[in-house]
Every structure is written in structure tokens, then in C-alpha cells.
Chain A
Amino acid sequence: MITPLAQFADSSSGIGALGIDGKALVIQLITFVLAFWILKRYAFGPIIKVMNRRRETIEGGVKLAEQMQREKAELDVKVEASLHQARQEADGIIAGAKDMAQATIAEAETKARNKAAVIVKEADARIAQDMARARQALEAELVGLVSQATEAIIDEKVDTKKDADLIERALREEQAA
């Protein structure tokens, strides 16, 4: 069997003098053209399509990312503005609430003072009433004691004779009246 290398070694004229086998070269050229045609016909088109699609996708993603960056920056500005406004509103609400709380406390204090004054006044009136009642009770008791003592003395001192004199005098006074 004669190998191309052997044929190449055996050639001694023309292109063969350069060590190139013309026949093999033609065959290789045809094979290459055929392989290139087949690859171009069936492989290069879809591969290029896929690559183009991927490139477009990547470009779209980059554009989208840039757009999102821009939107994020705008949103950050808006958020910052909203936060600033919210802080101002919150400060206003807190200040209003503080004023309202102070007013409520002041009102409650006034009410409590007024109520305490009323309670003290009522207590004073009740104490005065209790004292007056106690004084009346004491006086009634004193009168009762005086009456009892008088009864005891009269019972001991007034005998039949004195009682008769007493009645006689009373009857005379009654007649005179």
C-alpha cells in the first residue's frame, strides 16, 4: 500500500518537487469545499442566528439594566422627597399632638382643681352640719339630764303637804288669770 507520504517522497518533479501531491491536494480541496458547503448549508446559518439572538438578548438586557438604573435613580429621588415630606408631616403632627396634650392636661388640671374645691366645700358643709347636729344632740341630752335631776329633786322634796300648797297656789293663779 502506497501512502500519500510515500507518494510525496517519491515525486521528484513539478509541484511534486516542492513536496506537494497535486492529486491529493485536489482531493483535499474538494473535500474542504464540500465540508465548507455542508457546514455553511446546515451549521453556520443556525449558529450565526443563535449568536445574533444571544447578542440581541444581551444588548436588550444591558439596555434594560441601564433603563432600570435610571428609573432606580429617579425612584430614589422620589423616595427621598416623599420621606422628607413624611418627616415634615410627622413633625407637624407630633407638634400638634404635643399642643393638644398640653391643652388636655391643662383642662384636666382645671377640672380636678374645681372638683377638689367642690369636694372641700361639701365636706366643710357636712362637717358644719354634723357639728350642729352633735351640738343639738348634746343640748337635748343636757336638757334631759336637767329635767331628770329636777324630777328626782321634786320627787324627794315635794311631800303631800307641799304638793297641796302647790296645787292651791296654782289654782289661785289660774283663777286670777
Chain B
Amino acid sequence: MKQPRTKLARLIAEQTLRQGVSKRLSREIAAYLLSEGRVNELESVLRDVQVDWAEAGKVEVVARSAHQLPPKLRSEIKRIFRASYPKAQLEVTEIHDPSVLGGVRLNLADRQLDLSIRNKLDRFKQAALAGKE
């Protein structure tokens, strides 16, 4: 029987909050999604896991950038979001993504802050094309 995505995310969140994120658990989740033919739901499941973590007091900030972030900037990012989540345990997960070009794209459970050059370029393209129509 197919498990609802939110239930699946809750199970993963509970397990990761208890034991932390391990390679074994990641492999098991991947295997499960593959066997069920639900690989395309991965992004949604991870977002739901982030929401469950936030409800449990753990906020993960996924930072996508073209270059490695210096520790100073990681702290700065935490400081910025501390105001929004004063009591939560904040974690910054860094992902190297050359397509961002420059700047950083920050993803939280329920919001996104896109400060990347890619975003600015996309907005420029949209504005340029929309203005011509």
C-alpha cells in the first residue's frame, strides 16, 4: 500500500531527529522511493522533513552556492535567521551548485531567500522578455 508523503516524511524526520542523518538511512530512503517509483517526490519529501524538523525545533538552512562559504558567512546566515527562529536549533547545510553562478540561495522548510546571481539573471531575462511583449 502506498504511504502518504507526509506520513513518510514524518517517519524520516522522527528517525533523523533521534539518530541523525546517516548514509545508511539515506540509502534506505532512496531504495524505498526507487522501489515504489516515487523518486520524483524526493524534493517534496525532503521539504516535508524540513517542516517536521522545524516543528520539532530543528531548522535546517540549505545554502546553495557556487563557491565554498567561509565560516564567517555561515555564522552570518545563522544570525540572520535566529531572529525568525529564536529558540530553534539552526543548522546550515551547504551544497555546491555551480549553476548558481555567484551569491547564495537559502532554502528553509517554509521559505526561500534567493540572493544568487542566477536569480538576478533570470529576473533580468523575464523582465526583458516581458517588456518586449
Asked if chains A and B come from one complex, the reply is yes
* Contact of B62 with A by CB under 8 A: no
**Which residues of A lie under 8 Å from residue B129 when comparing CB positions?**
136, 139-140, 143
**Which residues of A lie under 8 Å from residue B128 when comparing CB positions?**
139, 143
Whether B125 contacts A158 by the Cβ 8 Å rule is no
Closest CB of chain B to A134's CB: distance in Å? 12
* Contact of A104 with B by CB under 8 A: no
* Contact of A114 with B by CB under 8 A: no
**Which residues of B lie under 8 Å from residue A167 when comparing CB positions?**
65, 69, 73, 103-104, 115
**Which residues of A lie under 8 Å from residue B32 when comparing CB positions?**
none
* A interface footprint on B120-133 (CB within 8 Å = 1, 0 otherwise): 01001100110011
Closest CB of chain B to A105's CB: distance in Å? 49
Could you tell me the distance between the alpha carbons of A174 and B105 in the complex, rounded to whole angstroms?
13
**Which residues of B lie under 8 Å from residue A163 when comparing CB positions?**
65-67, 102-103
* Contact of B1 with A by CB under 8 A: no
Closest CB of chain B to A9's CB: distance in Å? 162
* B interface footprint on A153-168 (CB within 8 Å = 1, 0 otherwise): 0110011101110111
Closest CB of chain A to B21's CB: distance in Å? 25
Closest CB of chain B to A93's CB: distance in Å? 65
Chain B: CB-nearest residue to A151: B101
Whether A155 contacts B101 by the Cβ 8 Å rule is yes
Number of A-B pairs, beta carbon distance below 8 Å: 66
**Which residues of B lie under 8 Å from residue A57 when comparing CB positions?**
none
Residue total for B at the interface (Cβ-Cβ under 8 A): 26
**Which residues of A lie under 8 Å from residue B76 when comparing CB positions?**
168, 171
Closest CB of chain B to A177's CB: distance in Å? 11
* Contact of A150 with B by CB under 8 A: yes
- Whether A160 touches B67, Cβ cut-off 8 Å, given contacts A154-B102, A168-B76, is yes
* Contact of B70 with A by CB under 8 A: yes
Closest CB of chain B to A100's CB: distance in Å? 55
Chain A: CB-nearest residue to B83: A175
Whether B115 contacts A171 by the Cβ 8 Å rule is yes
* Contact of A170 with B by CB under 8 A: yes
Could you tell me the distance between the alpha carbons of A174 and B101 in the complex, rounded to whole angstroms?
19
* Contact of A147 with B by CB under 8 A: yes
19 additional A-B residue pairs with CB within 8 Å, beyond A147-B124, A151-B121, A163-B103: A136-B132, A136-B133, A139-B129, A139-B132, A143-B125, A143-B128, A150-B121, A154-B117, A162-B102, A163-B65, A163-B67, A164-B67, A164-B72, A164-B73, A170-B103, A170-B104, A170-B115, A171-B115, A174-B115
* B interface footprint on A81-97 (CB within 8 Å = 1, 0 otherwise): 00000000000000000
Could you tell me the distance between the alpha carbons of A97 and B63 in the complex, rounded to whole angstroms?
90
